[in-house]
Structure 1
Amino acid sequence: MASIAEPLPRNDEETPPANAYVGHPNAEDLAHIPGEAGWPVVGNTFRLLADPVGFAWRMYRTYGPVYKNRAFGGWHVALIGPEANELILMDRQKNFSSEQGWGPTLDKLFPRGLMLMDFDHHRIDRRALSIAFKPGPMRHYAGALDRGIADEVANWGGERLFYPAIKQLTLDLAAESFLGGSWGPESPRINQAFVDEVQASIAPIRKPLPFTQMKKGVDARAYLVDLFEKETLKRRAGEGLGQDMFSQFATATREDGSLLDVDQVADHMNFLMMAAHDTITSSATSLVWLLAKNPDWQERLREEIVAVTGGPDAKGTPRGLAYDDLGKLELTEMAFKEALRLIPPVPSLPRRALRSFEFGGYRIPGGTEVGFNVGLTHKLPDIWPDPERFDPMRFTREAEKARHKYAWIPFGGGAHMCLGLHFAYMQVKILLAQLLQRYRIEIAEGYEPEWQPWPIPKPKDGLKVTFKPL
């Protein structure tokens, strides 16, 4: 039996040291867990990249809710279902490392982002950054979002590719809300840098060799971090200091009153900008597509929005959605939740076990890379009847109470719950308030775009829609 480092000797109430590490298990250590090794050397890497959704369903149906898989140079154990999600996300024993789970994929691209931090280190930095998402700053962002969205979508009548349009708008909105200004002539390069970082996260070649996607991603990170470090120094010198998110981050303090290091602020900004830019773009795109496919629900949301805002003014200009009225769009929020169920922007989440644990009748050794599949859990038919059907009524308060709390997890959960989830809800609600008071969103009969499912879902053709003025 190949040796695995012993479980870390500690009391369950203690926080593991930041560098807690145990060795990787091999095939013999995981022999009792069902699954597949795949092809020699590469394992299942290319099968997984070719069809991640189909691969996960085949493994689940063949082996059940606990299975092993060899890909990207090592063994992984998947745990499927709400109970698995709760075990890993709540992590009451502080047994699952997010840093070591995401590290092999993201350490060259988003080091020191919140997602790559564990336990006390994560808690301290998260608390410092959370100031940017308090009611005061959020009210400021809401006003900026409403103005920026209104100015842009007023010109969206007719046919267009929605994904590139909303991606550029989301980047521009992020500049206003996050930086308090615009990206200026750097906007195309910044947009491409985020694209390169995200695509590098699933590149088969994991070293930044010349002409590889990983090299593009690493170079993109260097460019963005340099940009954000310079901005941090400007804000701390009082230049451009305001209510924007970056000003909040640049001046955030830890519990002892110390400022975050400049390079830490830059890394946090790089990660949060990517999350806000790409995941909101993905989720807004899926929601617009589903509303175009389901015009009855589109009309119901339009009626709700008009009832809350008062509808367009005497000149036909839509009234904006006030910050205090965000909570009144209950049907709109339910529709957004259903879109996030059908097409979660982060389809799977990895962790690494710091010591052995048991789940589903199997003992999983310490050091194992484990993960759960958000997209698969969101379509388990015993939890979600007729799972492919768009039905926002799944998210009434009564329906949510009757379901396992961890059956729906597009924002993660526990200590690593998405810090910007309320920002995402706010931006999408404001977007729909402006769109649906102006247009009827239509698609060609029988149109079904093909989606790139990984790492962040997007329609391969850009999503062809028509905005028909009301």
Structure 2
Amino acid sequence: MATLAEPITAPHRPAEVSPAHWSEGRLTDADLAHIPGDAGPPVIGNLFRMLKDPHGFHWGMFRKYGPVYKNKTIGYWHVMLIGAEANELLLFDRDKNFSSEQGWGPTLHQLFPRGLMLLDFDKHRADRRALSIAFKPEPMRHYADALDRGIAAEVAKWNGTMLFYPAIKELTLELAADSFIGVPWGPESAKINQAFVDMVQASITPVRKPLPFTQMRKGVKGREFLVDYFTQETLKRRAGEGLGQDMFSQFATATSEDGKMLPIDEVVDHMNFLMMAAHDTITSSATSLVWLLAKHPEWQEKVRQEVFAVTGGPDAKGNPRGATYDDLPKFDLLEMAFKESLRLIAPVPSIPRRALRSFEFKGVRIPAGAACGFNVHLTHHMEDYWDSPETFDPMRFTPDKVKARHKYAWVPFGGGAHMCLGLHFAYMQVKILMAQMLQRYRIEVEDGYVPEWQPWPIPKPRDGLRITLKPL
């Protein structure tokens, strides 16, 4: 279905592009003339159509042009490959043909340089191996205890009608202080939260230079603040101050294959990126699950009964028993409901790459140097893989149905070498959160209430998701 051809050899299409020169080797209209698609209006291309309704835009392109199409934004072409086979081709990447660094670079290099997602091949493998120490069973057990303490204390304060998204966002940041940093945030917590907000929003701003008063300027300033903060913290950990089981201590003292500790600036960049991923994507994922369980009370009750069975339910005084690290694999229904929420509202709706050599997909030749990518959201909603794809049905994720489906039809955490390093942490936090919430409250929404979601770059309800928590 997909075959490789020649490497990039033309002078204007080098096989490696420096992060400082993302526009180097961009393809021309003539290079991609044989691929169907839409250039949009002059100069801006389809940028504003995409920003206004990214899912609707790509559904329209897919239906009009098929599983391979091109799209132009701000003078540059992007080739989209749609479907589970496309996901497998770009994620599994058996022949190391697709660069994640050069795919994400134009969007993220000013904000999250050298984050794990922006590394390729040997460098990515080496850094991933060094950082994986933070996700081994012993530290994960420590995180689970810290998460349960923090979640229990905060959830106990919740009651009545509330906006869930800002509440869980604040809680997730506080949990990161304990599990990730090992110390409570000080007065800088509001600045840290705002820095991440500004950086994520800057990733999709049309103005790509940090000019005064622009969103990109806010994002770059947010990065500068976090670099200073995490640099100082790294120096403290390496001096033995506050060294513990937290994730940051693991990163700060991680060693590469030659036994040397990672350079401080690399530790800082990895921490920045992983904090963003944990801060924003877990917030988004937890919010979508809470919304869907509120919308489907029959499933909420099924999951609640499972939580009671696994934890033993509240004690004699009515206090919920927390979920332990050893409990986590027992939450089968909760995990299926979470997976279904990730299918319906993927935390990363699309993923870019850049082709280092030309290849064919579905009979279409994509030339070397092409910016290409796949759309997670579309695949997750295609009738080719999912019956009644807009329906919430966690039973799609029973073992037999998972086995019968294309392995790359469900990819909220990516796949292949770039599978999300923190996916088990995400599962853990959401399971512990729901174990606490469902033992205390019935989660409800008003009849007919449907929040409007900001679909991109990381989905969130524009109104904050108004829910009502009723004590059991």
TM value normalised by structure 2: 0.96
**Residue 94 (str. 1) matches residue 96 (str. 2):** yes
- Determine the C-alpha separation between the residues in 1 that align with 2:18 and 2:52: 34
Q: Is the 8 A contact 2:165 2:465 kept in 1?
A: yes
- Over 3 Å counting, the alpha-carbon distance change for 1:63 and 1:17 in structure 2 is closer
Write the mapping of 1:1-150 to structure 2, written as runs, cut at 5 A.
7-8=7-8, 23-150=25-152
Pair 1:203-2:212 in alignment: no
TM-score, normalization by structure 1 = 0.96
Match of 1:328 in 2: 330
After TM superposition, give the deviation of residue 186 of structure 1 in Å.
1.0
Hey, what does 1:12 align to over in structure 2? none
**1:11-410 alignment, distance < 5 Å:** 23-410=25-412
Aligned partner of residue 131 in structure 1, secondary structure: helix
Query: What is the CA deviation profile of residues 385-407 of structure 1, one whole-angstrom value per residue up to 9, with x for unaligned ones?
Result: 11110000000000000000000
Q: Separation in 1 of the partners of 2:197 and 2:8?
A: 39
Report the CA distance between 1:73 and its aligned residue: 3.0
| 1:181 positional shift | 1.4
Matched to 1:438, the amino acid is R
Is the partner of 1:185 in helix, strand or coil?
coil
Taking the aligned partners of 1:231 and 1:133, their CA distance within structure 2 comes to 20
Aligned pairs, number: 460
Distance 1:380 1:301 in 2: 27
Please say if residues 65 and 81 of structure 1, whose CA atoms lie closer than 8 Å, have aligned partners that are also in contact.
Answer: yes
Q: 1:445 maps to which residue?
A: 447
For residues 15-49 of structure 1, the C-alpha deviation after alignment (integer angstroms, 9 at most, x for no partner) is x8785997221111111111000000110011011
Q: How far off is 1:8 after superposition?
A: 4.4
- 1:382 and 1:422 mapped to 2: Cα distance? 28
Distance in 2, Cα, partners of 1:377 & 1:156 = 36
Q: Which deviations, in whole Å up to 9, do the C-alpha atoms of 1:200-247 show, x marking residues without a partner? A: 000000000000000000000010011001000000000000000000
Q: 1:197 to 1:19 in 2, by over 3 A?
A: closer
Q: Which residue identity is paired with 1:376? A: L
State the Cα RMSD in Å. Answer: 1.4
Percent pairwise identity: 74
Structure 1 CA distance, aligned partners of 2:16 and 2:73?
A: 28
Question: Runs of 5+ in structure 1 lacking a partner?
Answer: 1-5, 10-15
**4+ residue runs over 2 A deviation:** 16-22
8 Å CA contact retained: 2:8, 2:358: no
**In structure 1, C-alpha distance between the alignment counterparts of 2:86 and 2:151, rounded to whole Å:** 39
- Aligned AA for 1:148? G
Q: CA deviation at 1:166?
A: 0.2
Deviations 1:415-467 (A, max 9, x none): 00000000000000000000000000000000000000000000000000000
Shift of 1:72: 3.5
SS at match of 1:356: strand
Q: Deviations over 1:46-101 (max 9, x none)?
A: 10111101001000000010000001430000000000000000101100000000
In the alignment, the residues of structure 2 paired with residue 391 and residue 317 of structure 1 have an alpha-carbon distance, to the nearest angstrom, of: 31
In the TM superposition, residue 322 of structure 1 has moved relative to its aligned partner by: 1.0
SS of the residue aligned with 2:305? helix
Match of 1:433 in 2: 435
Aligned-partner residue type, residue 7 of structure 1: P
Q: Distance in 2 between matches of 1:291 and 1:56?
A: 28
Which range is displaced more, 20-29 or 196-205? Answer: 20-29
5+ residue gaps in structure 2? Answer: 1-5, 10-14
Answer whether contact 1:7 1:366 (CA < 8 A) is retained.
yes
2:3 alignment counterpart: none
Tell me which amino acid in the other structure corresponds to 1:310.
G
CA contact (8 A) 1:82 1:377 kept: yes
C-alpha distance in structure 1 between counterparts of 2:74 and 2:428, whole Å? 37
Q: CA deviation at 1:184?
A: 1.8
TM-aligned CA deviation for residue 7 of structure 1: 1.9
Residues of 2 paired with 1:321 and 1:149: CA distance?
11
